[in-house]
Amino acid sequence: MGSAVMLLVIFAIYHIAQYMAIEQTMTARVERSMRASMDAMLNHILEREMSFEAEQLPALRQALRRLGEQGQLIRITDREGRETLIVTEGIPEQAARSADPAALPELSIRTDDGVRYMVLRAPITVLSYQGTIELVRGMDETAELIRRVGQVMLYTGLGAVLLSALGGAWLSSLLLRPLRQMTATIRRVREEGWHARMPVRTSDDEMDILMRMFNEMMDEVEHAFNRQRQFTQDASHELRTPIAIALGHLHLLRRWGAGDPAVLKESLQASTEEIERLRRLVEELLILTRSEQEPAAEESGLDDAGATLQAIVDKVRPVYAAHPVELGAESLGGVPLTWSAGHLEQALIILIDNAAKYSSAGQPIRIEGRREGDRVRIVVADRGVGIAAADLPHVFDRFYRADKARSADTRGTGLGLSIAKRLVERGGGMIEISSTENIGTSVEVQLPVRGHTGATTERRRKR
């Protein structure tokens, strides 16, 4: 409202200034015309050295009438103010009369009987004659013209203000419509849920881009909210199961197990296993949370990927004695990585552990490594039960386990692959999985060679 009033005031000041400029210009034009006529009359009188005798007045009257203009009065008075000659064209002879013309200013505007006149005076001396010549011109026509111009400016100004107001209202409505839609969408989100979105048009102007960005932001917020809700539900379920089992065995001990060594041993063993499972679950949740919240720190990296892989395999072979762990990474000898040895070991142990869980005893676990340009590819393959095609897109989701019955036997937490994926991505790499049921699973990790982190990260983003 304040801006509209300010614009209206500026508009009015501009038109008033323009009106005054037009009035001054037209008045100055009349003045220039009268001065030109005055100069012509004085030149004519002085060139002929007229003495204003009676016999010269008819010729002088004709000359002045010829030199004058329509709507103009010419009055010549002597030194005592007596009229010597009057020539008029449509103006009364008494208009703008003065008892002492010589005492008046050269140029003046007077009003007689409600009529405005412009009066121009000049002294005249020819031989022995001294007097004053006056030109009187009516200003009514000029004033009427100025008045009409003012009316036209007023009407056009009001019309422009009205059109500007209508156009401004339409334009503001057009510009504010997306904001109103955004407000309504936010209100629907609050009342109905995260699925509400803004309608997007087909044009590519700034407001449409804003609406699309708003919808994209809402998609991300909804996705993050759903993931958080799903995580809370899954975590609650996973934490509740071991607690319920341990609590059940403790109740059993309190009722009947105190005097029965077999029941006591079985309950203590089961409770210990569930508490250990609960501890692993909490540790993995902490690892996953830290990996998602903490910014990626600058790592010192490792100097020899081949030697590091060999050391990791030597360390895990006794743990997974039922599964021969084979390594083929001779080409990685001396290849430096930006990833630290600790993170590489943590991710590989997760992958080897998964391969052992879902493979029969005696089935080998094969680890291969090779360099391809600015990347190192490490593949962990098994000959286990495999993963169904429908489950593959979800294996990196937290708490997701493809085969529920099988998962109950393996007693996993469903967080291992999520942690591995997060660790690999924090190191500038990428991880992919392929599997065929009853044939086996292969997990490939791609890591940047030291000095090529930017290229690998860009390639991962494009995928």
| 328 and 432, same domain (yes or no) | yes
141 and 210 assigned to the same domain? no
* pLDDT tier, 12 (very low <50, low <70, confident <90, very high otherwise): confident
pLDDT above 70 for 245: yes
Q: Kindly indicate the confidence band of residue 462, based on its pLDDT and cuts at 50, 70 and 90.
A: very low
Q: Are residues 399 and 362 in the same domain?
A: yes
pLDDT of the residue at 6: 74
Tell which of 291, 313, 346 closes a domain.
Answer: 291
172 CB neighbour count, 10 Å cutoff: 10
Q: Is residue 239 situated within a structural domain?
A: yes
In a domain, 271, yes or no: yes
Say if residue 18 is in the same domain as residue 111.
Answer: yes
Residues paired with 434 in a beta bridge = 442
Q: Which pLDDT belongs to residue 440?
A: 92
| Residue 76 domain-assigned (yes or no) | yes
Please tell me which residue, 448 or 253, carries the higher pLDDT value. Answer: 448
CATH number (domain holding residue 222): 1.10.287.130
For residue 457, the model assigns a pLDDT of 45
pLDDT (0 to 100) of residue 382: 93
pLDDT tens digits, residue range 44-77? 888 887 778 888 888 888 888 888 877 788 888 8
Q: Is residue 185 part of a domain?
A: no
What are the strands, taking DSSP E only, across 317-364?
325-328
What is the residue-averaged pLDDT of the chain? 80
Instruction: Examine the fold and report which residue of 235, 261, 291 is the final residue of a domain before the chain moves on.
Output: 291
Residue 258 pLDDT grade (very low, low, confident, very high; cuts 50, 70, 90): low
Q: Are residues 319 and 397 in the same domain?
A: yes
Residue tagged 């994926």 (tokens): 421
Above pLDDT 70, what percent of the chain? 85
Domain hosting residue 99, numbered range = 2-147
Sign (positive or negative) of CA dihedral 276, 278, 279, 285: positive
> What pLDDT, on a 0 to 100 scale, did the predictor assign at position 299?
57
Co-location of 385 and 421 in the same domain: yes
Q: 318, 354 in Cβ contact below 8 A?
A: no
What tens digit of pLDDT does each residue of 163-216 get? 887 887 888 777 777 778 778 878 887 777 777 777 777 777 777 787 788 888
Q: Is 310 inside any structural domain?
A: yes
Q: What is the mean pLDDT of residues 17-32?
A: 85
The residue among 263, 291, 319 that closes a domain is: 291
Instruction: Give the pLDDT confidence score for residue 430 in this predicted structure.
Output: 92
- Token pair 């902490």 is found at 286
User: How confident is the model at residue 380, as a pLDDT?
Assistant: 95
Compute the average pLDDT of residues 327-333: 90
* 91-103 average pLDDT score: 75
Q: What is the DSSP letter of 299?
A: P
In a domain, 414, yes or no: yes
Phi, psi angle pair for 214, to nearest 5°: -65, -45
Mean pLDDT of all residues in 317-326: 89
The pLDDT tens digits for 332-391 are 998 999 888 888 888 898 899 889 988 998 999 999 999 998 999 999 999 999 998 888
Please state, in angstroms and rounded to a whole number, the distance separating the CA atoms of residues 380 and 402.
19
Q: Tell me: pLDDT of 463 over 50.
A: no
Residues of the chain with pLDDT > 90: what percent? 13
Rounded Cα–Cα distance for residues 435 and 13 (Å): 80
Do 311 and 410 fall into the same domain?
A: yes
pLDDT in tens, 398-450: 777 665 434 444 555 677 788 888 888 888 899 999 999 989 999 999 999 98
Q: Give the model's pLDDT for residue 449.
A: 92
Q: What is the pLDDT of residue 460?
A: 45
Split into its structural domains, the chain has a count of: 3
The answer to whether residues 432 and 308 belong to one domain is yes
pLDDT at 188: 80
pLDDT for 307 equals: 93
pLDDT band at 125 (very low <50, low <70, confident <90, very high): confident
Answer yes or no: do 389 and 315 share one domain: yes
What's the pLDDT score for residue 436?
Answer: 92
Distance CA 52, CA 49 (A): 9
Rounded to 5 degrees, φ, ψ at 123 are -70, 150
pLDDT > 60? residue 1:
no
Report the interhelical angle of 261-293 vs 206-255 (nearest 10°): 160
Closest CA to 268 of 288, 252, 287: 252
Mark whether 281 and 317 lie in a shared domain: no
Query: Which residue, among 387, 328, 325, 327, has the nearest Cα to 356 in the 3D structure?
Result: 325
Instruction: State residue 249's pLDDT score.
Output: 76
Q: What is the pLDDT of residue 401?
A: 66
Whether 43 is in a domain gets the answer yes
Q: Are residues 318 and 239 in the same domain?
A: no
What is the pLDDT at residue 275?
Answer: 83
Phi, psi of 80 (to 5 degrees): -85, 0
CATH number at residue 351: 3.30.565.10
Residue, of 286 and 74, whose pLDDT is higher: 74
| pLDDT score for 412 | 59
Query: Looking at the predicted structure, is the pLDDT value of residue 232 above 50?
Result: yes
How does residue 3 score in pLDDT terms, banded at 50, 70 and 90?
low
The pLDDT value given to residue 431: 93
286 shares its domain with 306: no
Q: 261-293 and 416-426 are packed helices; what angle lies between their axes, rounded to 10 degrees?
A: 30
Is residue 172 a part of any domain in this protein?
Answer: no
